[in-house]
Structure 1
């Protein structure tokens, strides 16, 4: 089973540094990422993340000239973008394609996803490799997964990503969601794991065992909160266990990339903010972090109330 790997460091890692990666660093990062064997480098959001962020940096904006610079560095066939439908207009996808992006992921909510489907159709018509992301999948009822996944693939999505935005999934949860999504769509399924509970690698292994064929990871796990699936661990695991993957991977440039990140991006160092562990335990989103103030005991008590735990 061939795994398609996406490096999401420049995008998801932006939550740690205001998306303020210098262009020179981003180009070096992407070049080494491709040498390591990543199929795609997700270089940015297009016009911002879910919530507005002041002074949004390069990899949070995804401007056309930035896309072009990255496509010149690694080739358009490696340049991926992600977006929230509420942030764009119908002019954005043609501009992104012309600038050099060739894969786009469209984030769909469980309710009110119809506008996103229009962008799925538009992206498909333009020639993008196009998929959808289901954010905060740990909070989705199974009926919503079935409904939105079916609608998205009917609209032309080639793959469906299960995004564990809260870092709350267990390997059993991941297996069940992957199996359900594959069964109702017949399309490829991917996992975007967060590491709030230290389960990102276990969840990735479980997802692949259940038939997932797309996987996100980031260098040093750099991403929102405690971060994502750690690319160095994930690709080393594939190199050891998957002969087909091993033939396409190269660990030396991967480790060189980790050194480059740590030497140039202070926020790239692994971190486990304790409030994010609590958020993961109670399946709460990052927007609730501000509520978990006043000491650990109070934070846990507040989290239990927010989660409706008796």
Structure 2
């Protein structure tokens, strides 16, 4: 099976360092990412994350000149950007495309999907490849997921992405969600895995085995909380298990990129804190992290209560 791989380090990894990647590093990162065989490099949020972050850095803004710099470095056909519908206008989409972005991913909130769907339709008209992301998919009911997937298919999204934002899915659950989504949309499905329970790679393999063809990963797993599917592990797995169909993937530049990231960005050092593991165990979003800091045993009790109340 052939996969479409997205490197999300510069975007999701930004939660670790305030999105403050220097431009020269971001460009070198993207160049090595494409050399490694990534189809797309997700270079930034457009106009910020879901919640405002003071003094947000380069890869949290996704400004036009930054997009142009990336398009010159790696070609528009590799430049992806993600956004929250509430942060943009239709003019943003036009400007992003003119600057050189060609994949846009739109986060569609389950409680208010229509603004996102309008942007999906507009982005398709402009000429983007369009993905939609369902955040915290582990907390969606099967009925709600099916309804959202159908609406996104009707809006002509190219791919529906299941984002395990809480890092709580098991391989069996990942497989079931992919199967359900494919049965509704009849189109491409992707997985954005987080690694709270150390299952990101297992979930990616299970999702792929059940038809997911788009996959997010980040170098050294750098991402929110304990991070994402580790790109180097995913590429190594593909190189070992499917050498014939993944011949364009090159592990050497990915490993070089991992060394560069660790040397240049201290916040990239992998870590799994006790609170992040507990959040994964109880399927809680990162916003609850502050409620379970402190004593580990007490944190477990608090998390159990939060989960029961949700």
Does the CA contact (< 8 Å) of 2:193 and 2:200 recur in 1? yes
Q: 2:244 and 2:120 mapped to 1: Cα distance?
A: 31
In the superposition, the TM-score normalised over structure 2's length comes to: 0.99
The alignment of Structure 1 onto Structure 2 pairs a total of residues equal to 310
Q: Secondary structure at the match of 2:90?
A: coil
2:79 maps to which residue?
79
CA distance in 2, matches of 1:293, 1:197: 18
Matched residue, 1:47: 47
1:65-112 deviation line (CA, Å, top 9, x unaligned): 000000000000000000000111111000000010000000011121
Structure 1 134/244 Cα, relative in aligned 2: closer, same or farther at 3 Å? farther
Gaps of 5+ in 1: none
Does 2:304 correspond to 1:304? yes
Q: Which runs of 4+ in 1 moved over 4 A?
A: none
Distance in 2 of aligned mates of 1:244 and 1:211? 18
Give the secondary structure class of the aligned counterpart of 1:243. coil
Aligned 1:108-119 pairs, distance under 5 A: 108-119=108-119
d(CA) in 1 for partners of 2:245 and 2:275? 36
Offset at residue 50 of structure 1 (A):
1.2
- Counterpart of 2:8 in structure 1 is 8
What is the distance in 2 between the residues matched to 1:49 and 1:212? 26
1:1-310 maps to which residues of 2 (within 5 A)? Answer: 1-308=1-308
Distance 2:133 2:249 in 1: 25
Contact 2:136-2:165 within 8 A present in 1 as well: yes
The alpha carbon displacement at 1:243 in A equals 2.7
Contact conserved, 2:168 with 2:281, CA < 8 A, in 1? Answer: yes
State how far apart, in whole Å, the 2-side matches of 1:41 and 1:203 are: 21
CA separation of 1:106/1:45 partners in 2, compared to 1, >3 Å: closer, same or farther? same
CA contact (8 A) 1:240 1:246 kept: no
Distance, in Å, in 2 between the alignment partners of 1:192 and 1:105 is 12
- Give the distance between the partners of 1:73 and 1:60, measured in 2 at CA: 19
**1:41–1:245 CA distance, 2 compared to 1 (3 A):** farther
Is the 2:2–2:246 contact (alpha carbons within 8 Å) kept by the matching residues of 1? no
TM-score (norm 1): 0.99
| Runs of 5+ unmatched residues, structure 2 | none
